[in-house]
Amino acid sequence: LKELEDQEEADNVKRSAQRRRELEEQEEVARRAAALRRRELEEEEEAERARRAAQRKRELEEAEEAGKRAAQRRRELEEEEEQEAARSAELRRKEQEAEEAEASKKAAQRRKDLEEEDAAELAKKSKMRRRE
C-alpha cells in the first residue's frame, strides 16, 4: 500500500511537473506570439509613417512645382503686357506722325493757295494799274 501511495504521489509529482512544463511552454509560445505581433504592428506603423511622410513630400513638391509654374506664367503675362504696351505706343507714335504729316501737308497746301491768291491779287492790281 505504501508503495502504491508512493507510486501515486510520484505520478502526481510527475503529472504536476508535466503540467507546469506545458503551462510554461504555452506561456512562452504566447509571449513569443505577442512579441511577434508587437513587432509586426511596429513595422506596420513605421511603414504607415513612412508612407504618410512620402505623401506629404510629394504634395509639397507638387505645390512647389505649381508655384513655379504660376510664377513662370505670371512672368510670361507681364512680358506679353509689356510687349503689347510697346506695340500700342509704337502705333500711337505712327498715328501721331501720320496726323502731323497730314497737318503739315494741309498747311503747305494752304500756304500755296494763299500765295497763289496773293499772286493773282497782285497780278490783278498790276493789270488795273496798267489800265489806269
Q: How far apart are CA 12 and CA 9, in angstroms?
A: 5
Per-residue pLDDT reduced to its tens digit, 65-105: 999 999 999 999 999 999 999 999 999 999 999 999 999 99
Cell of 58: 510629394
pLDDT digits (tens, 9 = 90+) for 25-53: 999 999 999 999 999 999 999 999 999 99
pTM above 0.85, yes or no: no
pLDDT at 21: 97
pLDDT over threshold 90, residue 2: no
Q: In angstroms, rounded to a whole number, what is the distance separating the alpha carbons of residues 94 and 83?
A: 16
What length does the chain have? 132
